[in-house]
Chain A
Amino acid sequence: MSEDGKVLVEFKNVDKRFGGGKIIVMDDFSFSFTKGETHIICGRSGAGKSTLIRCINALETIDKGSIIIEGQELGHKTMHDIRKKVAMVFQDFNLFPHMSVLENVTFGPIRSLKKKKEEAIESGLMYLDRVGLRDRADAKPAQLSGGQKQRVAIARALNMHPDLILFDEPTSALDPEMVGEVLNIMKMLSEEGRSMIVVTHEMSFAKEAADKISFLENGKFIETADPDTFFDHPKHESVKKFIDQVYNK
């Protein structure tokens, strides 16, 4: 992949606060994400991981600094274009309950990318096949298990043919026995060289799939490393403590 190595997302000196400035999510935060990478973000609950990745497709606005995506600065005018290129998978799926599985997967391509219906259905079925749910195309989300719902959400993201996929704790709302089926798909996508930014605390996924792991605390990535270094030789005391609490129970 010749284009790998290209910077896809860049945060430049970004500030983001809530609660009248009391809650710091990003503080003079800079970060660049390279095309083709799988970058995992972890951190304590409330550290601001969700807010950080939601800023990438303008679901949250920033107070200061800039976010540049594929050379375009994220702003009011560019936001819709950028959202078409950046897909997102949410913790609680957010499927459209009144639409069938296939409609969920084709709605974005048809309405937003203005794809032809047949084309969107064909690629939609292909992606549903890849997440193992082609035979549930006509089901309603309410008829699916949590793991199946999240797989549909991934197919919905893929059918947007995105340049980047954001995952916000995609397995946190799942019963334990369903975590594996979702992680396996994410591993497959990572191996394909898709660009992924993933908020997760799943160590198996981190070790197998991540190129980099970052730890968010006090508005900054206080540690960024490859998975082995991150888990085995973290530099910061608070990262060590976090790893002990979360992974070495």
Chain B
Amino acid sequence: MHLHEMVVYITRGIGITFKLVPCVIVSTLIVGMILGILRFKNIKVISQIIDLYVTAIRGIPPLVILMALYFTVKLGSSFMTAFVALTIYHGAYVTEIVRGGLEAVPKGQMDAGKSLGLGYMRIMASVYIPQIMLQIIPTLCGQYILVVKDTTLVSVVGLQDIMWNAKELIAVTYDPIRVYFIIGVLYFVVCFIIDLIASRVEKSVSGRYQAQLAEKGAQ
């Protein structure tokens, strides 16, 4: 088998990654926004529950969550199982990223919002979230690179992704070195692109920040 044939064969499985990753990005963003905002409000019981979730997830490998879901909850399809598992896992990290962003906003912003008579959710939506969005994008991209990498796990629940195809290919070619080399390059390219986006954003954010500092200095 020629190298390019192998690449084509393996890459067919990348469709799953390209379907899964955007779904997980959206779902973790929703989970992270909601839980991050709730956690930031500092209501005792709710905060404790969210902290428990985040701490638990930190100590559990994603593969374990994937297997646990696969064997306990019937979610209809392998795709759903993978999607839910990755959402639960990475949602915890995005929650922390969102909360960290919210904590970094000066407290006076909340005071100002409240004294205009605005409710908590309105202040979050119009004052906090727009201010943290640019700041957290680089960190989010870092997390989403991990999401991309974790899609290599989903073949264990029967999803025919790259890894699935790779195993099939190895069974025919007996050439694991080249197969895994190809996979490594493919993933590297995808992650590199996300990294590129992240550093672009980071530069533009810090550029703006520098500009603001310069203006302040010039006063």
Instruction: Give per-residue flags for B9-53: 1 if the beta carbon is below 8 A from chain A beta carbons, else 0.
Output: 000000000000000000000000000000000000000000000
By the criterion of a CB under 8 Å from any partner CB, how many residues of chain B are at the interface?
A: 21
A249 interface contact, C-beta 8 A: no
Q: Name the A residues within 8 Å of B115 (CB-CB).
A: 57, 59, 83, 86-88
Considering the chains assembled together, what is the distance between the CA atoms of A107 and B115 in angstroms?
12
Task: Tell me if A97 and B131 are in contact (CB < 8 A).
Answer: yes
Q: How far is the CB of A59 from chain B (nearest CB, A)?
A: 6
Q: Name the A residues within 8 Å of B126 (CB-CB).
A: 107, 111
Interface Cβ pair total, 8 Å cutoff: 66
Q: Name the B residues within 8 Å of A96 (CB-CB).
A: 109, 112, 127, 131
Q: Name the A residues within 8 Å of B127 (CB-CB).
A: 96
Considering the chains assembled together, what is the distance between the CA atoms of A111 and B121 in angstroms?
12
Task: Tell me if A80 and B219 are in contact (CB < 8 A).
Answer: no
Task: Tell me if B114 and A59 are in contact (CB < 8 A).
Answer: yes
Task: Tell me if B219 and A83 are in contact (CB < 8 A).
Answer: no
Which of A140-148, A227-235, A236-244 makes up part of the contact surface? A140-148
Q: Name the A residues within 8 Å of B68 (CB-CB).
A: none
Considering the chains assembled together, what is the distance between the CA atoms of A148 and B127 in angstroms?
21
Q: How far is the CB of B36 from chain A (nearest CB, A)?
A: 18
Question: With A96-B127, A142-B212 in contact, is A107–B117 under 8 Å at CB?
Answer: no
Considering the chains assembled together, what is the distance between the CA atoms of A97 and B216 in angstroms?
13
By the criterion of a CB under 8 Å from any partner CB, how many residues of chain A are at the interface?
A: 31
Task: Tell me if B216 and A83 are in contact (CB < 8 A).
Answer: no
Instruction: Give per-residue flags for B206-219: 1 if the beta carbon is below 8 A from chain A beta carbons, else 0.
Output: 00000110011001
B61 interface contact, C-beta 8 A: no
A203 interface contact, C-beta 8 A: no
Task: Tell me if A95 and B119 are in contact (CB < 8 A).
Answer: no
Considering the chains assembled together, what is the distance between the CA atoms of A81 and B115 in angstroms?
10
In terms of DSSP, what is the predominant structure of the interface of chain B? helix
B58 interface contact, C-beta 8 A: no
Q: Which residue of A lies closest to B113 (CB)?
A: A96
Considering the chains assembled together, what is the distance between the CA atoms of A101 and B136 in angstroms?
25
Q: Name the A residues within 8 Å of B116 (CB-CB).
A: 83-84, 87, 107-108, 111-112, 156, 160
Q: Name the B residues within 8 Å of A94 (CB-CB).
A: 106, 108-109, 111-112
Q: Which residue of A lies closest to B108 (CB)?
A: A94
A90 interface contact, C-beta 8 A: yes
Q: Name the B residues within 8 Å of A143 (CB-CB).
A: 215
Q: Which residue of B lies closest to A86 (CB)?
A: B115
User: CB within 8 Å of A: which of B176-219?
Assistant: 211-212, 215-216, 219
User: CB within 8 Å of A: which of B117-159?
Assistant: 117-119, 122, 126-127, 130-131
A92 interface contact, C-beta 8 A: yes
7 more contacts with CB within 8 A, not counting A87-B115, A96-B131, A111-B126, are A58-B114, A80-B119, A87-B116, A94-B112, A111-B116, A142-B216, A145-B219
Residue pairs across A and B with Cβ atoms less than 8 A apart, 27 shown, are A58-B114, A59-B111, A59-B114, A80-B117, A83-B117, A84-B116, A84-B117, A88-B111, A90-B111, A92-B106, A93-B108, A94-B106, A94-B108, A94-B111, A96-B112, A96-B127, A98-B130, A108-B117, A108-B118, A111-B122, A112-B122, A113-B117, A142-B212, A142-B216, A145-B219, A146-B219, A175-B219
The chain B residues found within 8 Å of chain A, CB to CB, are 106, 108-109, 111-112, 114-119, 122, 126-127, 130-131, 211-212, 215-216, 219
The chain A residues found within 8 Å of chain B, CB to CB, are 54, 57-59, 80-81, 83-84, 86-88, 90, 92-98, 107-108, 111-113, 142-143, 145-146, 156, 160, 175
Closest CB pairs A-B (n = 6): A108-B116, A84-B117, A94-B108, A94-B112, A112-B117, A83-B117
